[in-house]
């Protein structure tokens, strides 16, 4: 039986009482970072797995650059990661200027290295590597900047994902020589000896790993009190556990928030609906779609997590154009979603110049057009061609992802025959020009300017009486 201080039980039935808070629905845009030991190699966040797979590009790079993984393993990167130029206040200030309303860094990736002062795992950034409390510093900077703070955790997959470290070359002069992960003295970091190397989610992890995962996650939640949390997958764990351990953590997270908010949970939990990544129980948390989006407006808030390029820093990687990111943001928001955008820091804790430029450009666009994004709700129609609609009270916004070559726009969704309401005013955000428009039976016809007032996308503001 539940009580006022612990309203959630670790069951699907009880957790269906989860409700995504309005702060998240209003925020619309957040920033995410993948940063860790793997950043030293500058080959991306999957390096800890792929460096132990003979024939993989990361394996070949590792042998050329650092030596054979039987001699130089992932553990040997830890003292090389010193984060010597890490300035969380500066970085979070940049994220705020970019228009982010929440910040959710990765607190532990699949590499089994905790980025907080971990009580249950000595392989962490306070005891080793940078020897600073990265999550604590991120949190302090985020709250100081007025952003909601969250964390992502990718630890559930570690048991199988990271287990390639015990393999050996199948061919060549080093054939059969175990990689450094086979050393029993390193089992705390490289995990106990077992055969599961699935890249998605462990098939049937033992109770010892499930309880260890739970203890580390509770430690992270209790000591850093994130408003936003998501797993890189669904509810752990598959196999004999059947999701019970994950449900226990969800209940703990929601109850912790309720205890701090007069019995009302004010936190956001995101999970992904991906096969073989745990159990997806619809309604117990907020849906997260990795590098994708919904094709329609969803009744409940949801989130896309994506990146400007690779998740973890890769030297010379190509980044996405700013206009593409802004178009994605507008599309997601029109469908009742949020965009969590990843930017990858270098090992020293800095962002490269191109990443900073991308963030500044997004911020400049949101400074002008943000009223069509923040605190909005979906309209009856999310999209018409290259137009995305959002609504705030009696104000309807139309974000134009393209600019008509002839300067004329016809919105059939606003024709009087659609019973969408009477349009009483039309203006172009970022311009003082008076527009000519006519609401006819078949469409709302608008004469735009020869050139758009904003780079990347422009926004119409329309007042409607229903």
Where are the strands (E) in 300-433, listed by range? 302-307, 337-342, 383-384, 387-392, 395-400, 408-411, 422-428
Alpha-carbon gap, residue 278 to 272, rounded angstroms: 9
The answer to whether the CB of 287 falls within 8 A of the CB of 273 is yes
Residue 265 located in a structural domain: yes
pLDDT band of 5, cuts 50, 70, 90? confident
**Statement to judge: residues 29 and 122 lie in one domain:** yes
Q: Which residue has the tokens 């089992």?
A: 187
Residue 412 located in a structural domain: yes
The answer to whether the CB of 294 falls within 8 A of the CB of 335 is yes
The answer to whether the CB of 274 falls within 8 A of the CB of 233 is yes
Angle 59-233-196 from CA coordinates, rounded to 5°: 50
Alpha-carbon gap, residue 86 to 391, rounded angstroms: 39
3-state secondary structure of 373: coil
Helix residue spans in 225-321 (DSSP H): 244-260
Q: Which residues face 341 on adjacent strands? A: 31, 306
pLDDT band of 3, cuts 50, 70, 90? low
pLDDT band of 1, cuts 50, 70, 90? very low
Alpha-carbon gap, residue 355 to 32, rounded angstroms: 13
1 CB-contact burial (10 Å; exposed 0-12 / middle 13-18 / buried 19+): exposed
Residue 417 CB coordination number (10 Å)? 10
- Enter the tokens of residue 463: 């007042």
CATH number of the domain bearing residue 51 = 3.20.20.80
**Statement to judge: residues 406 and 353 lie in one domain:** no
**Statement to judge: residues 390 and 363 lie in one domain:** no
Flag whether pLDDT at 401 surpasses 60.
Answer: yes
Residue 378 located in a structural domain: no
Average pLDDT of the chain to the nearest whole number: 97
Q: Which residue has the tokens 């309880």?
A: 211
**Statement to judge: residues 412 and 457 lie in one domain:** yes
**Statement to judge: residues 165 and 283 lie in one domain:** yes
- Count of the separate structural domains present in the chain: 2
3-state secondary structure of 466: coil
451 CB-contact burial (10 Å; exposed 0-12 / middle 13-18 / buried 19+): exposed
Residue 377 located in a structural domain: no
Flag whether pLDDT at 354 surpasses 80.
Answer: yes
Q: Max CA-CA distance within the chain?
A: 78
Helix residue spans in 45-133 (DSSP H): 47-50, 57-65, 88-97
Q: What is the pLDDT of residue 4?
A: 64
Flag whether pLDDT at 194 surpasses 70.
Answer: yes
**Statement to judge: residues 131 and 240 lie in one domain:** yes
Flag whether pLDDT at 209 surpasses 70.
Answer: yes
List of residues 6+ apart from 116 with CB closer than 8 A: 107, 124, 125, 126, 133, 134, 135, 136, 219, 220, 223, 224
Residues in the chain: 466
List Cα–Cα distances, 231 to 98, 102, 175, 237, 280, in angstroms.
25, 17, 37, 12, 11
Last residue of a domain, one of 372, 391, 412: 372
Alpha-carbon gap, residue 414 to 405, rounded angstroms: 21
Residue 99 located in a structural domain: yes
**Statement to judge: residues 230 and 278 lie in one domain:** yes
Per residue in 112-160, pLDDT (tens digit) is 999 999 999 999 999 999 999 999 999 999 999 999 999 999 999 999 9
**Statement to judge: residues 331 and 451 lie in one domain:** no
- Percent of all residues in the chain with a pLDDT value above 90, rounded to a whole number: 98
Supply the DSSP symbol for 408: E
The answer to whether the CB of 115 falls within 8 A of the CB of 69 is no
Type and span of the H or E element at 148 = strand 148-153
**Statement to judge: residues 315 and 428 lie in one domain:** no
Residue 7 located in a structural domain: no
Last residue of a domain, one of 313, 347, 372: 372
The answer to whether the CB of 297 falls within 8 A of the CB of 334 is yes
Rounded to two decimals, the pTM is 0.97
The answer to whether the CB of 95 falls within 8 A of the CB of 84 is no
Last residue of a domain, one of 372, 405, 427: 372
Helix residue spans in 346-426 (DSSP H): 353-369
Q: Could you report how far apart the first and last alpha carbons of the chain are, in Å? A: 46
The answer to whether the CB of 41 falls within 8 A of the CB of 47 is yes
pLDDT band of 269, cuts 50, 70, 90? very high
Residue 294 located in a structural domain: yes
**Statement to judge: residues 230 and 354 lie in one domain:** yes
CATH number of the domain bearing residue 429 = 2.60.40.1180
**Statement to judge: residues 169 and 309 lie in one domain:** yes
**Statement to judge: residues 87 and 145 lie in one domain:** yes
**Domain containing residue 398:** 383-465
**Helix, strand counts (H, E) of the chain:** 12, 17
Residue 403 located in a structural domain: yes
Alpha-carbon gap, residue 160 to 206, rounded angstroms: 11
């Amino acid at each position: 039986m539940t009580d006022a201080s612990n309203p959630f039980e670790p069951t699907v039935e009880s957790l269906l009482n989860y409700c995504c808070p309005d702060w998240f629905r209003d925020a619309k845009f957040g920033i995410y970072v993948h940063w860790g030991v793997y950043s030293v190699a500058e080959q991306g966040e999957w390096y800890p797995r792929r460096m132990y797979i003979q024939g993989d590009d990361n394996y070949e790079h590792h042998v050329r650059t650092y030596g054979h993984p039987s001699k130089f393993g992932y553990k040997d990167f830890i003292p090389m990661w010193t984060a010597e130029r890490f300035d969380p206040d500066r970085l979070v200030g940049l994220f705020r200027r970019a228009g982010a309303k929440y910040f959710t860094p990765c607190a532990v990736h699949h590499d089994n290295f905790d980025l907080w002062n971990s009580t249950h795992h000595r392989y962490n950034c306070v005891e080793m590597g940078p020897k600073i409390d990265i999550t604590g510093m991120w949190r302090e900077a985020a709250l100081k900047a007025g952003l909601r703070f969250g964390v992502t955790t990718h630890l559930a997959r570690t048991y199988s994902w990271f287990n390639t470290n015990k393999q050996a070359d199948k061919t060549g002069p080093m054939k059969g020589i175990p990689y450094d992960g086979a050393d029993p003295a390193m089992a705390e970091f490289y995990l106990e000896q077992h055969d599961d190397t699935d890249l998605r989610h462990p098939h049937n992890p033992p109770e010892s790993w499930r309880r260890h995962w739970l203890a580390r996650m509770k430690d992270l939640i209790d000591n850093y009190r994130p408003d936003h949390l998501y797993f890189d997958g669904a509810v752990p764990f598959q196999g004999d556990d059947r999701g019970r351990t994950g449900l226990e953590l969800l209940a703990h997270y929601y109850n912790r928030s309720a205890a701090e908010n007069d019995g009302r949970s004010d936190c956001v939990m995101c999970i992904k609906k991906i096969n073989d990544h745990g159990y997806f129980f619809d309604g117990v948390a907020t849906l997260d779609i990795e590098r994708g989006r919904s094709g329609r407006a969803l009744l409940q808030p949801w989130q896309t997590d994506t990146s400007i390029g690779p998740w973890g820093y890769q030297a010379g990687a190509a980044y996405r154009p700013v206009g593409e990111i802004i178009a994605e943001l507008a599309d997601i928001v029109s469908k009742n979603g949020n965009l969590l955008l990843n930017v990858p820091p270098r090992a020293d804790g800095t962002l490269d110049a191109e990443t900073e430029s991308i963030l500044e450009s997004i911020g400049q666009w949101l400074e002008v057009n943000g009223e069509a994004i923040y605190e909005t709700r979906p309209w009856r129609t999310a999209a018409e061609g290259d137009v995305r609609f959002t609504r705030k009270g009696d104000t309807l916004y139309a974000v134009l992802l393209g600019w008509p070559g002839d300067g004329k726009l016809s919105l059939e969704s606003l024709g009087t025959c659609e019973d969408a309401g009477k349009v009483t005013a039309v203006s172009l955000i970022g311009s003082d020009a008076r527009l000519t428009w006519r609401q006819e039976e078949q469409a709302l016809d608008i004469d735009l300017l020869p050139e758009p007032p904003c780079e990347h996308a422009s926004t119409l503001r329309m007042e409607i009486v229903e």
